[in-house]
Structure 1
Amino acid sequence: MTPMLMSSVVMAALFAASPAPKTQPLTWKVTGSDVTFEMSSKDLRALRDGKEVFGFQSRKKGFLEDVTPAEDEERDTSDWEALWAFDVRSVVGPWVSYEEANSGYTGGAHPYAHFSYVTVDVTKPQGKFSLLDVFPEKDVLAALKADGFVKKHIGDAEAFKKARTVEAMLETLEPGEDCVGFRYGLDSVKRSVAFHHLEGGKVAVRIAFPYDNESCRGNMFVVGVLLPIPASLKPVLERASSRQEGFLMKDAKTVKAPSIRFEWEGAESKKP
C-alpha cells in the first residue's frame, strides 16, 4: 500500500488546532509529615489532609477588601494605588521563605514602601518560625559578628565584643548613613530569612534587615551568613538542595518559583 503523505500546510494546520497542553503543578510531599506542596507559575500552596493551610492566591480577596474604600467614600482616590507582592525564595521541609513587598499610596502625607523576607512553618499556628529555634544561637551570633557589613555598623566596640546573645549584639550597632534598622533586627534574625545554598557542611542563610526610619522607607539590607548544619537538619536541607523536596534560593529561577502580584488602583470621586 502506498503510504499516505500529508502536506506541510495540512500538518501545520492540525498542530495549530491542537490545544496547548496544560502545565501541571509541581507537587511533593514533605518526608515525615502530612504536608504536600503544590507549586505552579501563579501560586505555592501547602495542603494537609487535602485542605490548604498556606497559599498566596487565597490572600487576594483580603488584600482588595483592605485597600478598597467604603462605598460611601466621596474623596477622589484616583491617585491612590496599592501593591502586595510575593517572590518565593526557598522551600525547605515545611518552611516557606519568600520576599514580600508592600507599597503604594492610600492617603496621608506620603507613599509607603516596605520590603522584607518572611519564613513561615506551614505546620505551626500563624506559621510561627524562628531561626534561633532551629540553629544554636551561639552559631548565629558568631556568624553575624564575623560579617563585614555588620562590623561596619558597630557603635560600641567593647559591648559588641562582649555580647553573648543576638539581641545584645544588635543593640551595639548603629543605623549608619545607609539607615539600617538593626534596632528592629531581632525579629529579622528570627524570621526574615531564606536558605540560599549548602557549602562545606554549612548552609548559607540570607537575613533581611529593614530600614531604620520613614525617611529611608523602601530599603532592605540583606546579610549573608554561613551556619553549621545541625545533624537533625542535614537530611531536609540536602533534599531541598537536590530539589527532591523543595529547593534552595540558588535554584529559585531554575524551578521557576512563582512571583505573585496583587495590584489595586483608586477611582475618581462619585459625582452627586
Structure 2
Amino acid sequence: MIRILVLVLALVSTSAFAQEFQGIATYKTKRHIDIKLDSTKANDAMRQQMIEMMKKQFEKTFTLSFNKSESIYKEEESLSKPQVGGIGGDFQIMTIGSGGGGDIYYKNTAENRYVNQTDTYGKIFLIKDDIEKREWQLEPQTKYIGEYLCHEATLTEEYEYTEMRRSSDEDKEPETTMRERVITAWYTLQIPVNSGPADYQGLPGLIMEIDVDNGKQSILCSKIVLNPKDQVDIKEPSKGKEISQKDFDDVMEKKSKEMMERFRPRNGREGESIEIRIGG
C-alpha cells in the first residue's frame, strides 16, 4: 500500500512539473551574403560595404518563450537603426519581406498549429495554418552547446531559388529554379519540449541550433533560463488580416515581382549588373 501511494505521488509530481515547465531561450541569427558587381564603376570597397550593410539586416536576436506545448518566438526589442542613405550616392539597400521587429510567431505543438503575426509592406497579416511535419533523420553525433548535451538531426528539403538581378537587359526575367538544401539541427533531451526557433520543431528536445547548408544560414541559442521566477507570458497573437500560409506566399511573390520590376533599368539605360545571393 505504501509503495502504491509513493508511486501515485510520484506520478502526480511529474504531471505537475510537466504542466509548469517553462523557459526562455535567446537565439542569434546570421546569413551568408554574396554580392557580385559587373560594372566598371564598382569596386571591392563598394562590394564590401554593401555586404556589411546587408549582414546587419539579418544579424538579429530573438527570444523563444516556451512551455511543454506552446511557444512564442519574437525579435528582442532594440533601438531603431538609422536609415542608410545609399552607397556611392545612388544605390540604396532595402529588403523584401516583413519588418521583423513586431512579428510574433506562436506555435502550439499539442494542437499542431501556428499563428504568425507579421508586418509586411506596412500591412499586418495574421497567418494561421497547420504545422508542417518535417521528416528529421536522427544522427549519432553529439556536441555540447554551453552546458547542454545536444544530438544531431538532419533534413533535406527542396526550395525555390530566384536570382535577383539588376541588368541593362530589360527583357530578362529573374530565373527561378528548384534547389535542395540540408538543414542540420542540434537538440537537447535535457529540455524535453518538441519546439525550437522560428518554424523549426518536431524533435524530442528543444532545438538549440539550426544550420542551413554549412553556415549559409544559422540560428544559435546563446542563453536559456528555465522556470524563471516570473510566469512566462505566452499569448496567441490576434491582430491583423487572417490568411493561410499559401495565400500569404502568393502575396509575397507578387510584391517581390513588383519590387524587381520597379528597379529594372528602362529606356535602354546602361547601368551596373548586380547579383545578390542571400543564404544560398
* TM-score normalised by L of structure 1: 0.23
* TM-score normalised by L of structure 2: 0.22
Higher relative helix content = 1
Q: Which has the larger radius of gyration?
A: 1
